[in-house]
Structure 1
């Protein structure tokens, strides 16, 4: 009952938030999403006067489960149609790979995926390092600083999932600390990302000629600009299309649980296993398998990408809102100062490094990739997509399509960073080996980026409004330059 009531309160705060954005022009001009507006308001209310019939634990549960459901649904979602290209019969080589990068999706996939791996490792080191130096002042162990990596680079779902594992190892309050970092991550994603997006448009760096329309500010489309988002693939008298797609995601969820049965026998820490601890991943694997089988059986024609995208976006909205409402400020009060210090330091270093590397990923949509990866490295993939849509509302670039596959590039990092953090927090890995693991991940990915060419020459300068190719300026303030 408490969880369903919590969903009701979330709905109420969403409605309040959309009214505030539509009626208060400065907030609308900042393009602050409703989930953020409502989340902040809800966080204040639940921590002052409270919300009847619910507790912060109810919202924590919603946040974690929406993350799992979102990823599983992404796995079953049909891929966007791509243009057919002639196969290149040249033999593989590093030089050939670099040649193919250019404006291809590979530069975005490899660039964004590699940077996320860097952030996943260095964010953990920042949080740990700061508390190692000053955490004793507030009696906050350095282990708590590691949760910022799950919160910023992965999102609230993993902050809850891995925080649960850390609490099982004896670190009381790890979930709350992770959720707090997650909420801050969403705030800084938009606080810095939106002005950056606007500046990219103004300076002519963005590929699309997007403009700040009234509907973008208000958050609603007038009737003449409203579009349909999907197809009806089932007969309503039998099963609604939305129900069908939710049922498929539910089936993938169950199959993911089945995959975890044997994997749960493999321990990766105190109370943590290779299966259920990363359930979202195995649920996504199950979804890929089911989608593949549906394709082989010719059943994919009943899948509608528009409906699946709406499910993903709805899960994201609920997840973000629930994250703010799950914060227990009374518990965190004693640690608010160190949490703020870690958040500021991590935000600054992530901001500086993504602007450096993003301007060197390459490709015509280098700016869009930088913006997308900033949102992803401080929130979730959905946050990155939300920021990208500000400058690329009609998907004129391939940035949105590149974010998903980029996860395949950073997967190896996940298989080392996450187990290392959990093992160290459980006391089964020493400090020296833990630090070596983190640093090795960073070094290996830096080398990889240099080798494949996504850490190359600078391709844009947002302050000058210039874009470069092979070190030469070819565009300034949106206009071509002959040099």
Structure 2
């Protein structure tokens, strides 16, 4: 039985580091003042201890699969959660709000790639270091997409085109992106909350928020029992609902992989669309359909939304710790200077992009600023974690907008993610700039269309940009 414990202990390490992180957040004044999430503290501690060899028998790769599945669970549980009935917490159409997030993310995907490529080209011209500019280009797959995609495309570039260290640099950028998301995002959230710009007033800068723990006499009661504990514990019941969705998604993918095997219309390998690497995307669709059926047949009382929100929040915490523990130190040290230069350029550009467009999006615009910055510097899970600071119980419509956004970005960036990204080094410099830069410019041009007719913040009726001003 000893061989079965490796993965279980890896999970236990993540859970233990979360507890340690929460204690450090509560006890260290600097952490309380900076509002650093416990998952970040625990993840950085785990990265340090793992790099020092204090977890014998474990490598960063041992935490990659756990990170992937917690990311998947966070959004599948979110899509099983019902919609808030509080109109004050709605930003209008979920589809419209999701389109704003999609526009920001798509522009970021193109912009970050162009900036990373140009920064390394400039660095080489000044220092003569001879570093491949594609190591700068991969920043967008680390920042805007996250560790999974950075590793996927980096491995392709490294194996097929000989771009040395592409996979590791991609993972480093993904990890740096997570740190940047919180280094900038947390103070930004603090500023928004202190000025009362968040719609969900459950999130406020009181001592409980800073310490990270509720006093015993003022602990909120959340969730309700759905199943009688004599039959089945309610938490196990809700985990079982997600398990059903997981199995359905797996069976669907296996079936479709057999259907599209060998099919490459237009040179596009359809098998990629039904790969388990895109499990979360198909899982979102399954959970949306499950919730629709549950509501239509009148069984919504058999699902407790608060319990699902707790599963979502817990999954996000585990995902962040696991991602930070996937960092490898050696390549970071060797390419420290160019990595820092690229990260700074991308961070500044992304911050300006998210702040400007997010504030144009109307009601809940500040929530979208923070969420989109997290998504464009870490992953969708990071955006969700930052949003939780302004929307502590996920009661606004922005979390559902994120679910729509995850589907929409597949369409808006299909040509990049499934056609051009795997073969980027073969495009050449000008070809790369045309594809990624052109995509960013195309979606910049879409902003006036979103502004032309938008809901009035007072009446909810559609008005033109001129009437709104």
User: Do they fold alike, i.e. is TM over 0.5?
Assistant: yes
* Structure 2 residue 439 is the aligned partner of structure 1 residue 441: yes
* Structure 2 residue 244 is the aligned partner of structure 1 residue 255: no
Residue 207 of structure 1 contacts residue 397 of structure 1 at CA under 8 Å; is this kept in 2?
Answer: yes
- Aligned with residue 223 of structure 2, among 227, 230, 245: 230
- Seen in structure 2, the aligned counterparts of structure 1 residues 292 and 400 have a Cα distance that, compared at 3 Å, is closer
Residue 113 of structure 1 contacts residue 409 of structure 1 at CA under 8 Å; is this kept in 2?
Answer: yes
| 1:84-138 alpha-carbon deviations (Å, 9 max, x no partner) | 9xxxxxxxxxxxxxxxx99766663332221111112212222233334446955
* Structure 2 residue 64 is the aligned partner of structure 1 residue 60: yes
Distance 2:309 2:197 in 1: 28
| 1:360-395 alpha-carbon deviations (Å, 9 max, x no partner) | 2233x3323222222222223343343344445476
- Aligned with residue 127 of structure 1, among 105, 116, 120: 116
Give how far 1:470 is off: 7.4
Distance 1:201 1:150 in 2: 31
- Seen in structure 2, the aligned counterparts of structure 1 residues 238 and 350 have a Cα distance that, compared at 3 Å, is same
Distance 1:211 1:450 in 2: 34
Matches within 5 A, 1:14-93: 14-75=18-79, 77-82=80-85
Distance 1:124 1:161 in 2: 16
- Seen in structure 2, the aligned counterparts of structure 1 residues 5 and 436 have a Cα distance that, compared at 3 Å, is same
- Aligned with residue 189 of structure 1, among 177, 181, 184: 181
Give how far 1:13 is off: 1.9
Distance 1:114 1:302 in 2: 36
- Seen in structure 2, the aligned counterparts of structure 1 residues 421 and 124 have a Cα distance that, compared at 3 Å, is farther
Give how far 1:25 is off: 0.8
Residue 172 of structure 2 contacts residue 327 of structure 2 at CA under 8 Å; is this kept in 1?
Answer: yes
- Seen in structure 2, the aligned counterparts of structure 1 residues 405 and 270 have a Cα distance that, compared at 3 Å, is closer
Distance 2:310 2:329 in 1: 32
**Runs (5+) with no aligned partner, structure 2:** 458-465
Give how far 1:192 is off: 1.4
Give how far 1:21 is off: 0.9
Residue 165 of structure 1 contacts residue 422 of structure 1 at CA under 8 Å; is this kept in 2?
Answer: no
* Structure 2 residue 147 is the aligned partner of structure 1 residue 156: yes
Distance 1:66 1:174 in 2: 25
Please name the residue that 1:463 is paired with.
Answer: none
Distance 2:308 2:50 in 1: 32
* Paired residue secondary structure (1:50): coil
Residue 43 of structure 1 contacts residue 325 of structure 1 at CA under 8 Å; is this kept in 2?
Answer: yes
* Structure 2 residue 3 is the aligned partner of structure 1 residue 5: no
Distance 2:156 2:234 in 1: 37
Give how far 1:352 is off: 1.6
Please name the residue that 2:338 is paired with.
Answer: 338
- Seen in structure 2, the aligned counterparts of structure 1 residues 440 and 379 have a Cα distance that, compared at 3 Å, is same
Please name the residue that 2:463 is paired with.
Answer: none
| 1:401-448 alpha-carbon deviations (Å, 9 max, x no partner) | 433334444332232221244332485x66655443323322332222
Please name the residue that 1:199 is paired with.
Answer: 191
| 1:12-36 alpha-carbon deviations (Å, 9 max, x no partner) | 2222211211111111111101111
Further displaced range: 392-401 or 234-243: 392-401
Distance 2:425 2:268 in 1: 6
Further displaced range: 269-278 or 284-293: 269-278
Please name the residue that 2:368 is paired with.
Answer: 369
- Seen in structure 2, the aligned counterparts of structure 1 residues 317 and 107 have a Cα distance that, compared at 3 Å, is same
RMSD: 3.5
Matches within 5 A, 1:340-419: 340-363=340-363, 365-393=364-392, 398-419=397-418
**Runs (5+) with no aligned partner, structure 1:** 85-100, 460-468, 473-483
Give how far 1:350 is off: 0.3
| 1:219-266 alpha-carbon deviations (Å, 9 max, x no partner) | 011123222332222233443333333333333333333333135545
Matches within 5 A, 1:201-216: 201-203=193-195, 205-206=197-198, 211-216=204-209
Distance 1:181 1:272 in 2: 28
Distance 2:234 2:395 in 1: 28
Residue 264 of structure 1 contacts residue 275 of structure 1 at CA under 8 Å; is this kept in 2?
Answer: no
* Paired residue secondary structure (1:228): coil
Please name the residue that 1:219 is paired with.
Answer: 212
Q: How many residues align?
A: 443
Residue 192 of structure 2 contacts residue 366 of structure 2 at CA under 8 Å; is this kept in 1?
Answer: yes
- Seen in structure 2, the aligned counterparts of structure 1 residues 442 and 258 have a Cα distance that, compared at 3 Å, is same
* Paired residue secondary structure (2:446): helix
Distance 1:247 1:434 in 2: 45
Distance 1:193 1:216 in 2: 16
| 1:264-284 alpha-carbon deviations (Å, 9 max, x no partner) | 545678998222142321232
Q: Which has the higher helix share?
A: 2
- Seen in structure 2, the aligned counterparts of structure 1 residues 471 and 79 have a Cα distance that, compared at 3 Å, is closer
